[in-house]
Structure 1
């Protein structure tokens, strides 16, 4: 009730029912993100059921991110063409259709199609959610609301693996999707009743050439990195061609945006230094989280031979603590700004990742839980405060573009982080096996896999250290109506 009263103080409430709008987004976002990580816990089951490799099953995550990487850049344009209600309903309809296809998927290719359809729903929902919050919440209260969003964004992935583990103990992986279907339907009904139109569509001119360049640019980058992770190796012609096409596409896209009177994605948001730093923090955070979230379940289920349920339980405390702390960090951000949250947060992240880089076949569960909790506390101190600070610096007319840029690069960073971590892990394991005599010995194979996991975490440490250096330059953005 206190939170509701707080949100209802907003001067915009004469026009908008703020609480039901935010609740609609929180419910939809929670269920969408739950199915995202719940499936991660089923990867070993999918490898067995479909007779595929780890590097192939990774495409369920990468294909999802690739779709987001292609669609989210044009979300700034989509937000200006359709009403809030239309986009909210469309996003949930796509999510429901994708979830249904996944629930009945008999083969890997059908499941892959389902993931792409689900990703279309997410690609519409994420930018819409952030843009709507920027429009209806005054800057001095955004930390608190972004904290609530952070709670959902982190709590859903935290409980996803545990609930998935429970499901997988007694049922097949299909039921992960059957269980989320009625919840998505409920979110659609709730949102249809309470969602209001926050912005009026201005229907700017659509520049087809920009959309093509953006698709080749972001798509090429994500596809190239993913292919390297899939085992193609960094020297393969597919990887090199994809990355070259991606870089050229992005270059041409950027040049075109700066010359158009009505750009598809307004890159002038990059003129604001705290927006750029916030964006870099999001990129670092996503690379660290997604590389960790793919390495840890593989380590727990392969090296330590834990069941999916046991692995899920082990990762639950960190996720819950992160979710609980997100609104707390949001409040602290509103009071004190980002400086005293982001830099110390990254020190915790680096410490936890260093611990993960030392794990072996004998590492205790208590040590892993402690490290995961420290990692998640560090993440809650870093990502949302830096993102909110960055978006606060933008003028109102750049909100759709700012959210589109952040959400796009977040997905691209996630795909790169996942792919690089997997390829480093595979290379580390292969290198270990090259140096042993008894290659058929199962113990050597486990030791090789574990060494690969350690190498993957060393990559995450390097990314986090870069983030720490950037965080030293973060400053609080002054906003109007600053709370006293």
Structure 2
């Protein structure tokens, strides 16, 4: 097969959307992405029920979330190549077909092993959906409207994982863990049918060969890194460090391989996107902010249920306002970005993240629930003000023929940041709690102190978010200025 024509943008099969209107293709993809990404965190509240129903330990049950993240990290690096090679409709059908298959299998899963396989199939579909959405958006939406449309994408990318625990907490009040998949299946099937009925192909596929060594090294490297980070949760730290190190070494091999393939114009994941300063700064900021968000998503439910004694439903209802505020503000933030640029949103957003996480360092046995709700809402609103401009600025700085690769790198780093943030806060919390318990402190107080220390780590990380925000420009430089870098 011929080499991909990476230095010439794909010919559009559809004209860009009229100014001020969100293309139908984007609305369909946002809806589909919301449903599939919601499943990444929907299992968090189902762990106790699964342990009892399937007779498994908590550590084993956690694999249902870990394997989802691991699969995403392993598959996403290959999506840049995949999206260039197939039509929009075929990519959509592949993503939703895999997701529906995994969901149906989960409903009837007779054992943990089958359920784990179902989650892996779901994750493979989800891994294709997010880069597909981002790549299509950058191709069909005029530059002056991207902030507004990206605000809608924020709903799928950020609010869906934030809402997962809340949604599952409500559903689990009415049935077993299987209900989570029973509810999702018909909704996903309807969205799939509607999408295939209305979706148009955007751009022309480019025939290309694939380097299987790159595929395997990407899967082993990024998958191994996420798996190693997950092992810090209650596992042997030395084993976790060894796996993380092996993952990093494999990623280094993958990077060297891509640099070699770029000279021939056939990389699996084109790293030339990283030579654009705005895109690289946006990646760093997004990773730090995602670590802060996922860290708080793990710590807050633990605090509310383990320390304060709330039920899963009560916990879900307490954090739901923040998640809803984040989603509802997405389009507004996007319109403000189109009008004023990124800095007036990102810098206050980064400061809000820092203030919220600093507030959480004061959690106690008696902190008022309204204060917890307020801090969580501030965190979610601040993340909304940050994510939309960062994604838009970052991808806007990438030339059109590298959109699929830029979105694949962005989505891969999201998974790595999520795993790193989770491992960091759980390890810090557990180490501090164990040390205090050994010194004779009561379990609950030891756990509470461990959570405070973990929130302090998050607050320190948020300072880096503020510093990185200051490096972003108000608007992305014209991607056309990127010429000549690929050679």
Q: Please report the TM-score for the alignment, with normalisation by the length of structure 1.
A: 0.90
User: For 1:414-451, what per-residue CA distance to the aligned partner results, in whole angstroms no more than 9, with x for missing partners?
Assistant: 111112222222222211211116xxxxxx22222222
Task: State the match for 1:358 in structure 2.
Answer: 362
User: For 1:321-369, what per-residue CA distance to the aligned partner results, in whole angstroms no more than 9, with x for missing partners?
Assistant: 1111111111111111111111211111111111112212222211110
Task: State the match for 1:255 in structure 2.
Answer: 256
Task: State the match for 1:425 in structure 2.
Answer: 429
Would you say the 8 A contact 1:50–1:107 is kept in 2?
A: yes
Mark the CA change 1:153 to 1:240 in structure 2 (over 3 Å): closer, same or farther: closer
The whole-number CA distance in structure 2 between the counterparts of 1:343 and 1:478 is 19
The whole-number CA distance in structure 1 between the counterparts of 2:100 and 2:257 is 36
Q: How far 1:395 sits from its partner (Å)?
A: 0.8
Answer yes or no: is 1:273 the counterpart of 2:273.
Answer: no
Listed as ranges, the gaps of 5+ residues in structure 2 are 1-13, 481-487
Would you say the 8 A contact 2:278–2:394 is kept in 1?
A: yes
Equivalent of 2:415 in 393, 411, 415 = 411
Equivalent of 1:118 in 122, 136, 149 = 122
Which structure has more helix as a fraction of its residues?
1
The whole-number CA distance in structure 2 between the counterparts of 1:67 and 1:313 is 30
Answer yes or no: is 1:339 the counterpart of 2:343.
Answer: yes
Task: State the match for 2:243 in structure 1.
Answer: 242
Mark the CA change 1:156 to 1:251 in structure 2 (over 3 Å): closer, same or farther: closer
Would you say the 8 A contact 2:74–2:218 is kept in 1?
A: yes
Mark the CA change 1:69 to 1:386 in structure 2 (over 3 Å): closer, same or farther: same
Q: How far 1:385 sits from its partner (Å)?
A: 0.6
The whole-number CA distance in structure 2 between the counterparts of 1:252 and 1:285 is 27
The whole-number CA distance in structure 2 between the counterparts of 1:18 and 1:144 is 9
The whole-number CA distance in structure 2 between the counterparts of 1:474 and 1:182 is 42
Task: State the match for 1:391 in structure 2.
Answer: 395
Q: Aligned runs of 1:125-144 on 2, under 5 Å? A: 125-144=129-148
Task: State the match for 1:231 in structure 2.
Answer: 235
Q: How far 1:480 sits from its partner (Å)?
A: 9.0
The whole-number CA distance in structure 1 between the counterparts of 2:34 and 2:347 is 28
Task: State the match for 2:304 in structure 1.
Answer: 300
- The more displaced of 107-116 and 180-189 is 107-116
Would you say the 8 A contact 2:352–2:379 is kept in 1?
A: yes
Mark the CA change 1:296 to 1:102 in structure 2 (over 3 Å): closer, same or farther: farther
> RMSD value over aligned CA atoms?
2.1
- Give the secondary-structure state (helix, strand or coil) at the position aligned to 1:170: coil
The whole-number CA distance in structure 1 between the counterparts of 2:72 and 2:253 is 20
Q: How far 1:105 sits from its partner (Å)?
A: 3.1
Mark the CA change 1:396 to 1:468 in structure 2 (over 3 Å): closer, same or farther: same
Listed as ranges, the gaps of 5+ residues in structure 1 are 1-9, 438-443
Would you say the 8 A contact 1:18–1:136 is kept in 2?
A: no
Would you say the 8 A contact 2:131–2:407 is kept in 1?
A: yes
Would you say the 8 A contact 2:321–2:377 is kept in 1?
A: yes
Task: State the match for 1:466 in structure 2.
Answer: 464
Would you say the 8 A contact 1:91–1:121 is kept in 2?
A: yes
Mark the CA change 1:62 to 1:458 in structure 2 (over 3 Å): closer, same or farther: farther
The whole-number CA distance in structure 1 between the counterparts of 2:46 and 2:461 is 28
Q: Aligned runs of 1:90-101 on 2, under 5 Å? A: 90-101=94-105
Q: How far 1:479 sits from its partner (Å)?
A: 4.6
- The more displaced of 381-390 and 102-111 is 102-111
Task: State the match for 1:6 in structure 2.
Answer: none
The whole-number CA distance in structure 2 between the counterparts of 1:459 and 1:113 is 35
Task: State the match for 2:444 in structure 1.
Answer: 446
User: For 1:133-157, what per-residue CA distance to the aligned partner results, in whole angstroms no more than 9, with x for missing partners?
Assistant: 0111122211111101112334434
The whole-number CA distance in structure 1 between the counterparts of 2:160 and 2:249 is 37
Q: How far 1:473 sits from its partner (Å)?
A: 0.9
Would you say the 8 A contact 2:69–2:415 is kept in 1?
A: yes
The whole-number CA distance in structure 2 between the counterparts of 1:294 and 1:331 is 31
- Give the secondary-structure state (helix, strand or coil) at the position aligned to 1:418: helix
- Give the secondary-structure state (helix, strand or coil) at the position aligned to 1:384: helix
Answer yes or no: is 1:378 the counterpart of 2:377.
Answer: no
Q: How far 1:50 sits from its partner (Å)?
A: 4.3
The whole-number CA distance in structure 2 between the counterparts of 1:433 and 1:192 is 57
Q: How far 1:159 sits from its partner (Å)?
A: 4.4
User: For 1:224-270, what per-residue CA distance to the aligned partner results, in whole angstroms no more than 9, with x for missing partners?
Assistant: 1111224222x23xx23322221221112111211211111111111
